[in-house]
Amino acid sequence: MTDFNEQIIREFRENGGRVSTAGFGDNLVVLHSIGARSGEVRLNPLFALREDDGWLVVGSAAGSPKDPAWVHNLRAHPRIEMEVPANGSVRTVEVDVTEIDADESDPAAWSARWDRFTAASSGFLDYLTTAEGRRFPIFRLTPVS
């Protein structure tokens, strides 16, 4: 894990889920993805948007032409734990992961969610200039009942 990610996670935990660094505010979650090959837990701090009872995250990798490693891990292990803000503290929840429009049968479903990310932060639009045409995967994280 990078020093930046460690700093973000520390701030998230110390401030009850609020992160002022990089403008995350209350829109940060920490995924506990499971390495597809190693089986080891990886911590991934990500910008997230609430959707009904769950969250959405996007695999932008800051505009890299390649998906971040956690995308491959979520596809391999679609049930994980994540840390979320909860009334001034942080709680851990178990979630099922679903890729939005994974089979491209409903492009409007992906587009509607992408529009939510770009409305929340114009930085996502900036990422398109360096992504070499890559369509960023979007995942829905739904708490397990």
Q: What is the pLDDT of residues 70-86, one digit of tens each?
A: 999 999 999 999 999 99
CA angle, residues 144, 115, 89, in degrees to nearest 5: 40
pLDDT greater than 80 at residue 20: yes
pLDDT of 21 reads: 84
Question: Is residue 64 exposed (0-12), middle (13-18) or buried (19+ Cβ within 10 Å)?
Answer: middle
Question: Over the chain, what is the mean pLDDT?
Answer: 93
* pTM attached to this predicted model: 0.93
pLDDT of 1 reads: 62
Question: What does the block give as tokens for 107?
Answer: 């492009």
Helix (H, G, I), strand (E, B) or coil at 126: helix
pLDDT of 43 reads: 97
Residue among 14, 71, 82 at smallest CA distance from 45: 82
User: Do the Cβ atoms of 41 and 34 come closer than 8 Å?
Assistant: yes
Q: What is the pLDDT of residues 36-67, one digit of tens each?
A: 999 999 999 999 999 999 999 999 999 999 99
Tell me the mean pLDDT in the region 103-125: 88
pLDDT greater than 80 at residue 107: no
Q: Which domains does the chain have, with CATH numbers?
A: 3-143 (2.30.110.10)
